[in-house]
């Protein structure tokens, strides 16, 4: 409460008005903070790409000796492009998940990703595992 003195008078009158401006500012700041934070708290959405997951995923496993297995079937490095092209002709939205040991050289992964790109694969993901 604020005390106010009337002009020409010696008595004080109490003003019991509450200013709503600071309260309204606080509410708007909190609303803005929640609007920004809510999309990050929701799960199940890939914010980086904004794209949906592919309908079918082929798993390409690379072992420590660089042998390739596509969906539990051994495939040679030279045959990989042909096998993937055939699969993409029947199901063009197929994505490839590459699983490989973390200690393989990065250049091997780069060459493998280039090979997948040449085969026509547009959606890929890579996961590594420690020994």
pLDDT tens-digit map of 56-80: 888 888 888 888 888 888 888 888 8
Cβ neighbours, 10 Å, residue 36: 9
Q: Which domains does the chain have, with CATH numbers?
A: 2-41 (no CATH), 57-129 (3.30.420.270)
pLDDT higher than 50, residue 45? no
Q: Are 110 and 98 in contact (CB under 8 A)?
A: no
Which of 79, 72, 118, 77 lies closest to 97, judged by CA? 72
The structure's pTM equals 0.56
């Amino acid at each position: 409460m604020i005390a106010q003195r009337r002009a020409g008078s010696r008595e004080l009158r109490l003003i019991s008005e509450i200013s709503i401006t600071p309260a309204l500012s606080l509410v708007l700041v909190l609303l803005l903070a929640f609007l920004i934070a809510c999309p990050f708290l929701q799960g199940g959405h890939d914010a980086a790409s904004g794209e949906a997951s592919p309908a079918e995923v082929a798993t390409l496993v690379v072992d420590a000796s660089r042998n390739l297995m596509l969906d539990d079937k051994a495939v040679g490095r030279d045959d990989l492009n042909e096998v993937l092209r055939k699969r993409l002709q029947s199901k063009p939205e197929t994505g490839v998940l590459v699983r490989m040991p973390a200690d393989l050289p990065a250049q091997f992964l780069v060459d493998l990703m280039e090979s997948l790109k040449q085969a026509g694969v547009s959606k890929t993901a890579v996961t590594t595992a420690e020994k």
